[in-house]
């Protein structure tokens, strides 16, 4: 199998006074391009920390994180930022939209960071918002939209740069069952089309209907893996 993402004995420790918290411990993982992975585990089991390590948002205490041939753990801060902007889309549970900006402005934000000019930004934001079914709300501010609508804006913002890898941390955590289903179906449709590699943190039992390949974390360690095609590890 082509290895697109590989983690070797990855650990993340936090020091709190005298105590050392092993937030992520001895994680080995590999994924091919276009694979999807679901991460489950109780609150505090290390799911977000693992995601943040893979996204280059936090530095590992030890271990190797190799993504598309690049060692994330060897990058300095600037290189990590560049890696993130180029490769990663992030979808959050609480949407994390900027309240003072319209939906379209929120979606276009990652393009500003990439130096895309205004006209092109609006075109690209419009295109992804149409695909995600939220362009009708382009001029709405976040507080003028429902949770499901805000999450569609969050998804459009994560995907506007066409990142090859998308991380989502409980993206349906604040949505009702029906809206959650719609959001998951939308994500999978978009990702299958583009062969996006997708890593989802979810407490939700229902999300396993969409992504069978699951790792379960306890105290920062993988204690249980279920793989549909037996292609991992």
Which of 38, 47, 84, 157 lies at the binding interface for ligand ATP (CB under 6 A)? 47
Could you give the CA distance from residue 145 to residue 101 in angstroms, rounded to a whole number? 13
41 touches ligand ATP by CB under 6 A: yes
Which of 43, 76, 100, 143 lies at the binding interface for ligand ATP (CB under 6 A)? 43
- β-pairing, 221-226 vs 214-218, is antiparallel
Bridge partner residues of 20 (DSSP): 15
Taking CB under 6 A as the binding criterion, the range among 44-52, 104-112, 118-126, 135-143 that sits at the site for ligand ATP is: 44-52
171 touches ligand ATP by CB under 6 A: no
Sorted by sequence, the CB contacts under 8 Å of residue 57 that are 6+ apart come out as: 84
44 touches ligand ATP by CB under 6 A: yes
CA dihedral 172, 108, 163, 37 (to 10 degrees): -10
16 touches ligand ATP by CB under 6 A: yes
Taking CB under 6 A as the binding criterion, the range among 1-9, 26-34, 41-49, 157-165 that sits at the site for ligand ATP is: 41-49
Bridge partner residues of 71 (DSSP): 66
> Three-state SS for 86?
helix
Bridge partner residues of 143 (DSSP): none
Which of 40, 48, 106, 161 lies at the binding interface for Mg ion (CB under 5 A)? 48
45 touches Mg ion by CB under 5 A: no
Q: DSSP strand E in 80-196: where?
A: 88-92, 165-169
Cβ-based nearer residue to Mg ion, 50 or 145:
50
137 touches ligand ATP by CB under 6 A: no
Q: Quote the least distance from Cβ 40 to ligand ATP, whole Å.
A: 9
Which of 25, 40, 45, 161 lies at the binding interface for ligand ATP (CB under 6 A)? 45
DSSP 133-158: T-GGGTT--GGGS-HHHHHHHHHHHH
Residue 27's nearest CA partner among 45, 8, 55 is: 8
Interacting residues with ligand ATP (CB under 6 A):
14, 16, 21, 23, 41, 43-49
Interacting residues with Mg ion (CB under 5 A):
48
């Amino acid at each position: 199998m082509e290895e697109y993402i590989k983690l070797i004995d990855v650990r993340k420790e936090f020091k709190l006074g005298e105590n050392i918290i092993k937030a992520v411990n001895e994680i080995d993982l590999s994924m091919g391009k276009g694979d999807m992975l679901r991460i489950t585990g109780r609150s505090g089991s290390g799911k977000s920390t693992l995601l943040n390590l893979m996204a280059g948002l936090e530095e590992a205490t030890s271990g190797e994180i190799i993504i598309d041939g690049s060692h994330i753990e060897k990058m300095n801060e600037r290189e990590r930022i560049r890696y993130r902007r180029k490769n990663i889309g992030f979808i959050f549970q609480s949407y994390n939209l900027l309240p003072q900006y319209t939906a379209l402005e929120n979606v276009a934000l990652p393009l500003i960071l990439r130096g895309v000019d205004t006209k092109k930004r609006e075109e690209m934001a419009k295109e992804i918002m149409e695909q995600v079914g939220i362009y009708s709300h382009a001029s709405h501010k976040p507080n003028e939209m429902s949770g499901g609508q805000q999450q569609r804006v969050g998804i459009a913002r994560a995907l506007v740069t066409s990142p090859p890898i998308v991380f989502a941390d409980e993206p349906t955590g604040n949505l009702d069952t029906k809206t959650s289903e719609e959001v998951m179906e939308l994500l999978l449709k978009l990702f299958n089309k583009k062969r996006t590699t997708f890593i989802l943190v979810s407490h939700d039992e229902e999300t396993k209907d969409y992504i069978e390949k699951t790792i379960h974390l306890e105290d920062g360690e993988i204690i249980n893996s279920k793989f549909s095609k037996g292609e991992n590890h």
